[in-house]
Amino acid sequence: MKRIFAVVLAAVTGAGAMGQGDPAVVDNIIQLGKSQNQTRSHLETICEQFGGRLTSSSHLERAQAWAVQEFKNYGCQNVHLEKWGEWEVGFDRGSSGQVGRMTAPFLREFQFTTPSWTPGTKGLQKGPAVMEPMSMADFDKNKSKFKGAWMVMMPRTGEGLPTKAVRDTVLAAAIKAGIKGRVSGSRGELVLTGGNFNIKWDTRPKDIDITIRKSDYDAVTGALQAGQSALLEFDLRQSFRKGPIALNNVVAEIPGTEKPDEVVIVSGHFDSWDGPGSQGAIDNGTGSSVTLEAARLLCSVGVKPKRTIRFILWSGEEQGLFGSRGYVKDHSAEMDKISAVLVDDGGTDYWGGFVGLETQRSFFQPSMDALMAAFADMPMQFRAQEKMPRGGGSDHASFNAVGVPGFFTIETGVADYGYIHHTQHDKLEAAINSYLVQSSTAAAVTSYNLACAGSLLPREPKSGG
């Protein structure tokens, strides 16, 4: 019986993979994708007009309004903002004019960041640097030096440091004495931006907390250890937004001609962290631009997929996959009709393939074959495993958690994602154009073929089934 079942399953699976999209249409998509690709143009607009797009910021809201209009211009239907929640406090950070530097004993410009959802400086604030005291006795002895100063924090861990309780007591005393804020050093030359969105308006943070890269920190502490006076100045242009702040995904689609209630989703998250210097280019302006360009290519060719192809730009991804989780919750009755969710969130490398079930391989192979013929120097693979990936830090995880096949594309190439991820280096200049061309073309071809396949993608058997 097991052998017969296996043979039948293989036959059904093979039949389901048949009936992929029209090869002539696939060829047209590829030719247009290679010759008139506009992914880079989308990315330039996102980075230069809107910059970092923190969830709850006006930067993201403006970018979403632009994306809605772009999808409409392409010819997509049912284009709209879809609300998934609201927060009590929003946050905006200026995209330019941020200042952080040491002016004495010599001039040194800092690379720095602050947590999102923390206050700015209300203009340029100058003051001496003073080291964090080792004890309350040390603080009391030098109490007069702290008013109007920037307190340089010791490392978070290491031998000979005071206990956390002592440090907390000293910090509270220093804040009461009138320090301008805290200045800490990063572990290396990267400064990473994060932040706590879960705050109330009446109790929003009041203290300024700055992180500078290690070499900048070493320059400041080196001067202090040499007995020199170190003068620092910061201008942090950031502010809170009083809510409630509506939080949305951007949704657009090409309706299916035969099974419009069955859906293939192409997506990337539109939100980003917003540290000074960052434009949210690689995480995830690239995936958002790929999603936009896939829609443009498919509309330009005039595809008529059997199933609906839906394009979604998520938000709230960086704070916990909120946009995609909200979508799954609000559309719970439709989950059985979603064939696949393609998520581009691995940076600027190209689409190197997919991870899924062996029974899904034949659904992806025709697209990969066509793409590898067109982009001979960018091989692709299907990596089979017994179960769909669980967990993961991007929006595919929200769907895999409920049994819908979600695919975080295998990003392949030469980019150093760790150098960019959530750091000051997440800028347009890091994007690799040839990879953007392949990725957007791959998104268009793959979604079209899946939308025209003979059946929905196979799924794992439901537990207890």
Give residue-wise pLDDT tens across range 330-359: 999 999 999 999 999 999 999 999 999 999
Rounded to whole angstroms, the Cα distance separating 452 from 18 reads 9
**Is the predicted pLDDT of residue 13 greater than 70, yes or no?**
no
Kindly state whether residue 10 falls inside one of the protein's structural domains. no
Same domain, 334 and 398: yes
Q: Is the pLDDT of residue 418 over 90?
A: yes
116 Cβ contact list (under 8 Å, min separation 6)? 54, 91, 93, 193, 194, 195, 197, 238, 273, 274
> Does 130 lie in the same domain as 49?
no
CATH number at residue 305: 3.40.630.10
Residue 75 shares a structural domain with residue 127:
no
Determine the pLDDT at residue 157: 86
Claim to verify: residue 345 and residue 402 sit in the same structural domain: yes
CA distance 138 to 464: 64
Is the residue at 441 inside a domain? yes
User: Whole-angstrom Cα distance, residue 46 to residue 428?
Assistant: 9
Check whether 417 has a pLDDT greater than 60.
Answer: yes
Classify residue 376: in a domain, yes or no. yes
Comparing 15-24, 222-231, 238-247, 452-461, the range with the smallest average pLDDT is 15-24
Final residue before a domain boundary, out of 236, 263, 279: 236
pLDDT band at 4 (very low <50, low <70, confident <90, very high): very low
Asked if residue 14 is part of any domain, the answer here is no
What percent of the chain clears pLDDT 70, i.e. is strictly above it?
A: 95
Task: State how far the Cα of 294 lies from the Cα of 70, in Å rounded to an integer.
Answer: 12
Distance CA 5, CA 385 (A): 20
The stretch 404-411 carries a mean pLDDT of: 96
Single residue among 236, 252, 282 that ends a domain in this structure: 236
Residues, the chain? 465
pLDDT at site 464: 52
Cis peptide before 284 (omega within 30 of 0): yes
Domain-embedded: residue 175: yes
Q: Which of 236, 252, 279 is the last residue of a domain?
A: 236
What does the pLDDT read at residue 97?
A: 87
Domain span at residue 119 reads 99-236
Same domain, 414 and 439: yes
**49 and 66 belong to one structural domain:** yes
Query: 157-213, pLDDT tens digit by residue?
Result: 888 899 999 999 999 999 999 999 999 999 999 999 999 999 999 999 999 999 999
Mean pLDDT (whole number) for 293-310: 98
Q: Which neighbouring-strand residues pair with 102? A: 108, 232
pTM, to two decimals: 0.94
- The per-residue pLDDT for 465 is 43
SS3 for 198-225 is CCCHHHCCCCCEEEECHHHHHHHHHHHH
- Looking at the fold, whether 261 and 171 belong to one and the same domain comes out as no
Q: How many angstroms separate the CA atoms of 299 and 301, rounded?
A: 5
- pLDDT category at 3 given cuts 50, 70, 90 is very low
Tell me, yes or no, whether 5 lies in a domain. Answer: no
Q: What is the pLDDT of residue 7?
A: 35
Q: Domain for residue 461, yes or no?
A: no
Percentage of the chain exceeding pLDDT 90 = 92
Whether 321 and 429 map to the same domain: the answer is yes
Q: Is 261 within a domain?
A: yes
User: Same domain for 184 and 252?
Assistant: no
- Asked if 20 and 370 count as a contact pair (C-beta separation under 8 A), the reply is no
Same domain for 62 and 112, yes or no, is: no
- Mean pLDDT for the stretch of residues 84-102: 95
Residue 291 predicted with pLDDT over 50: yes
What local confidence, expressed as pLDDT, does residue 19 receive? 65
Whether residue 197 sits in one domain with residue 80: no
When the pLDDT of each residue in the chain is averaged and rounded to a whole number, the result is 94
The total number of structural domains that make up the chain: 2
Residue given tokens 């669980």 in the structure block: 390
CATH of the domain at 178: 3.50.30.30
The CA distance from 307 to 256, in Å, is 4
Which helix (H) or strand (E) segment holds residue 333: the answer is none
- Both 396 and 289 in a single domain? yes
> 390 falls in which pLDDT band (50, 70, 90)?
confident
- Average pLDDT of the segment spanning 353-374: 98
CB burial readout 312-325, b (16+ within 10 A) else e: bbbbbbbbebbbbb
